[in-house]
DNA sequence: GTTGGTGCAAATTTTTTGCACTCAG
DNA sequence: CTGAGTGCAAAAAATTTGCACCAAC
């Protein structure tokens, strides 16, 4: 559906850096790239199957580690069942996860810019906030004043 | 060392709400309370042992779930090996985790107030940011311009 | 006395590791 | 060619579940 976001250029750069572009690496990247969404390890495995590219779980784990290392994907804990992986592209965004109903709303990245500035200025810290998850109560649930969250799980998790 | 932060009052409230205060629950709470720090499931188990209160892993998991549910502890993914649990007390704070050297600096909670306001105002979202972890490069590493992080793992994780 | 919580054992799920083989560069 | 990456099998870790028994209220 979507045009590839990871450019050939990026891959070339990696090759030049001495990274090996194997078939499994390309395929996992392709899956994440096309979905553009957060995928769990399981999602990735399933997507690969459907693409006729079934591969060993161990390999999937290793490839995901590699993709993180070279900075192509982010790893986020949305508080739910599992950790999710996602392509890091220009459409950087974050999520507001409702603790009560579990709904997820997208949060524009520039909302975090003031925070970034503060961290740089006051903490000498260069933030890399690729994919954040913030928890709380959504519009609907905050008025209903639901006190016992159905989603009792996480509050925020971004990785890299 | 530290004075108990969880007040008798809190426990009474829970009892009134119909929550059962069993020995395992008290003990786990005690451990988290005294440490005041982030503990992994394993840390908790070990601390219990040392306190002569060894208990089954299944129970530890169940108790931690319960503590989250009743809102006494937060669950955070600091990006490292494991998820950590921590008492939610008045000294709410967050962490800046260096992706390069792994150092962790404490972040004052009120730094997040502007963000909270924005979320309330623009997103109708009532944030519950109990214990956030933000990733990036610390003072030292940002100047050294280290490109290949040693800690290649997470970026941010807060739970509840 | 009830009901929910615990301990124990077993099952599941998730993730890692050793090793021979293959392929990218 | 040569080493890093892969597949496979097996191990290790982490987490969950069923059930009989016990304890909180």
Q: How far apart are CA A156 and CA A80, in angstroms?
A: 10
Supply A131's token pair: 């994919």
**Whether residue A64 sits in one domain with residue A36:** yes
**Whether residue A5 sits in one domain with residue A75:** yes
**Whether residue A76 sits in one domain with residue A53:** yes
Mean pLDDT of chain A: 83
pTM above 0.95, yes or no: no
CATH code, domain carrying B129: 3.30.1490.190
Q: Which of A139, A149, A156 sits opposite B125 (nearest CB)?
A: A139
Least Cα separation, residue A157 to chain B (angstroms): 3
Using the 3D structure, point to which of A90, A118, A147 is the last residue of a domain.
Answer: A90
Residues of chain B under the 70 pLDDT cut: 1-7, 79-81, 144-160
**Whether residue A126 sits in one domain with residue A80:** no
pLDDT over threshold 90, residue A37 = no
**Whether residue A60 sits in one domain with residue A18:** yes
pLDDT over threshold 70, residue A58 = yes
pLDDT in tens, B32-42: 999 888 899 99
Least Cα separation, residue A57 to chain B (angstroms): 19
Q: How far apart are CA B126 and CA A153, in angstroms?
A: 17
**Whether residue A40 sits in one domain with residue A118:** no
Q: Which residue of A has its CA nearest to B69?
A: A152
For residues A42-57, average pLDDT = 93
Angle at B32 between CA B28 and CA B33, to 5 degrees: 110
**Residues by Cβ under 7 A, strand D:** A 19-20, 22-25, 55-56, 58-59, 62-63, 66; B 15, 20-23, 41-42, 57-58, 61-62, 65, 81-83
**Whether residue A19 sits in one domain with residue A2:** yes
**Whether residue A98 sits in one domain with residue A58:** no
- Note the pLDDT of residue B131: 84
Using the 3D structure, point to which of B90, B125, B147 is the last residue of a domain.
Answer: B90
* Domain encompassing residue A85: 1-90
Mean pLDDT of chain B: 83
Using the 3D structure, point to which of B90, B125, B140 is the last residue of a domain.
Answer: B90
B129-CA/D11-C1' distance, Å: 39
Q: Which nucleotides of D are covered by protein (CB under 7 A)?
A: 4-10, 14-18, 23-25
CATH code, domain carrying B12: 1.10.10.10
pLDDT in tens, A73-102: 988 877 666 788 988 887 888 889 887 777
Chain centroid to CA A48: 18
Give the number of domains in chain B: 2
pLDDT in tens, B6-34: 668 889 999 999 999 999 999 999 999 99
Distances (CA, A) of B115 to A98, B63, B104, B111, B127: 17, 32, 22, 8, 9
């Amino acid at each position: 559906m979507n045009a590839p976001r990871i450019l050939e250029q990026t891959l070339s750069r990696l090759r030049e850096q001495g990274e090996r572009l194997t078939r499994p690496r390309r395929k996992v990247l392709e899956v994440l790239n096309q979905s553009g969404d957060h995928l769990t390890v399981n999602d990735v495995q399933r997507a690969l199957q459907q693409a006729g590219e079934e591969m060993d779980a161990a390999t999937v784990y290793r490839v995901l580690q590699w993709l993180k290392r070279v900075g192509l994907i982010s790893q986020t804990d949305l508080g739910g069942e599992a950790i999710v992986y996602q392509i890091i592209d220009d459409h950087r965004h974050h999520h507001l996860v409702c603790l009560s109903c579990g709904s997820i709303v997208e949060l524009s990245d520039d909302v975090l810019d003031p925070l970034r500035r503060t961290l740089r200025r006051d903490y000498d810290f260069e933030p890399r906030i690729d994919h954040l998850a913030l928890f709380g109560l959504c519009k609907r649930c905050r008025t209903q004043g639901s006190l016992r969250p159905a989603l009792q799980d996480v509050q925020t998790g971004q990785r890299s």
